[in-house]
Structure 1
């Protein structure tokens, strides 16, 4: 039985049988080769193999020399194809060159941009340097001006305070011709001047004939609101008539019947000053002390009241 048939009997098939057959053929060829060498040494005239050996193996006529030079085949797990060789063609070279050129162009553009920015920064730094050189002189000038202003500030503050006092005195003096009427009911389409002149004629009948020329202006204060009677301010032509009416109206029965009250016309600052000292004056009045106002100033037993 041949080696090939033995392998088939062992159940080898497919690629494994093919590989094992190749190794069996090679081993048989080697055995024949060495047998021929031995036969040549023993009988030089014998140059051919026995017919029995030829009949047993059909592949006995294979070239032994070629079998000796053959390399063992690759194992089935390895690929029989040779690895592909990478061709360094002109296409890859041109692509590489294009990429390099593009990179050079980008770098050149960035360098140009950097150069332009550097020139602009240089100009800016030069301008800043000139300004810095000018700053010491300007700072010195500013310090001189500030020192002058600081020396003048106390004087300006004093003058401002004096001017405010003078303005307040002028406003207070001008309001000395005025009186305010509180509680006088407001009517639609009223002639407020005629109405007030008639009330004043009832309060001081002795001046009824000259009352129209004694009162200068009469009008209500503020915007009209529903359910609210606005105050009335009246200005006299002479201070003498104003003071006389102020004294008469304090205990006047006509004013009580009409539900009205006459008050002095104070500025906002004077009203705030009177309100600030009133709590102290109210406590003094409760203690039985002599309390009164003179203008916007309050007094307790002849001593001016100040805010603590």
Structure 2
């Protein structure tokens, strides 16, 4: 076909358009080159713009990293300061607590020393109290040794108790009949009278001389007069001696059942001459 050229653009034209048209070469140096714009090559964006976007993205990334780093550093500084304040406060609290504990320990040591001193004083006081109690018991027992108790004497409002007791003592101890009114000091009933009482109250009599008291006590153990009139003399014992005898009584009763001669002397018990002791 006439008019065909090697230019593909030109080959797309119809023959009637190419009949009288001059042949134009695109490679002609005398022709001006058309400006290159993005619209001429839409499939390939210009290189400078692409580099600018990449650089902007890199700058933005660096800014974000810097901001994150700055925030992190700020937070870390704040956290470090908070931890430092906490440690400082805890240190002060620990020091204050240590002072408090040291003070309390010192107080406890002082109290302990005082308690030790008080304990020593209490032991000394207890020892002295025990000695005094023993001494008082001995004095009380000694004072009771001057007395005797008499049971079985009938009781009425009009009677002269002292005269009746003196008469009874003169009867069982006639050899001292003249002396007894002088050596028998005080005589009185024991306790308060009771309305429904079936037995007369006991009588306590105090002697001014131990020799006459012991003589009456010895004579009363074998007196038929007392047995016939249902009268009985007994020792006037202190509370401590009575309690001691109550503990020893089962041993004395057992010894008597065995045919032994068992008896009391004050707060002590004997069987066939051997002293008896309560079971521990």
TM-score computed with the length of structure 1 as normaliser: 0.54
Output the CA distance in 2 between the equivalents of 1:302 and 1:248.
22
1:257 match: 228
1:185 is the counterpart of 2:154:
yes
1:244 is the counterpart of 2:215:
yes
2:140 equivalent among 171, 174, 178:
171
Q: CA RMSD in A?
A: 2.1
SS of structure 2 residue aligned to 1:251: coil
Output the CA distance in 2 between the equivalents of 1:207 and 1:251.
17
Matches within 5 A, 1:98-247: 138-226=107-195, 227-247=198-218
Cα 1:303–1:205 shift into 2, 3 Å: closer
User: How much does 1:241 deviate?
Assistant: 0.3
2:257 equivalent among 267, 282, 286:
286
SS of structure 1 residue aligned to 2:221: helix
User: How much does 1:170 deviate?
Assistant: 0.5
Matches within 5 A, 1:9-158: 138-158=107-127
- Structure with bigger helix share is 1
User: How much does 1:250 deviate?
Assistant: 0.9
2:278 match: 307
User: How much does 1:135 deviate?
Assistant: 6.1
Output the CA distance in 2 between the equivalents of 1:208 and 1:169.
32
Q: Which structure 2 segments of 5+ residues have no match?
A: 1-99
Equivalenced residue count is 178
Higher relative contact order (CA 8 A, sep 6+): 2
SS of structure 2 residue aligned to 1:247: helix
1:44 match: none
Q: Which structure 1 segments of 5+ residues have no match?
A: 1-130
Output the CA distance in 1 between the equivalents of 2:158 and 2:256.
44
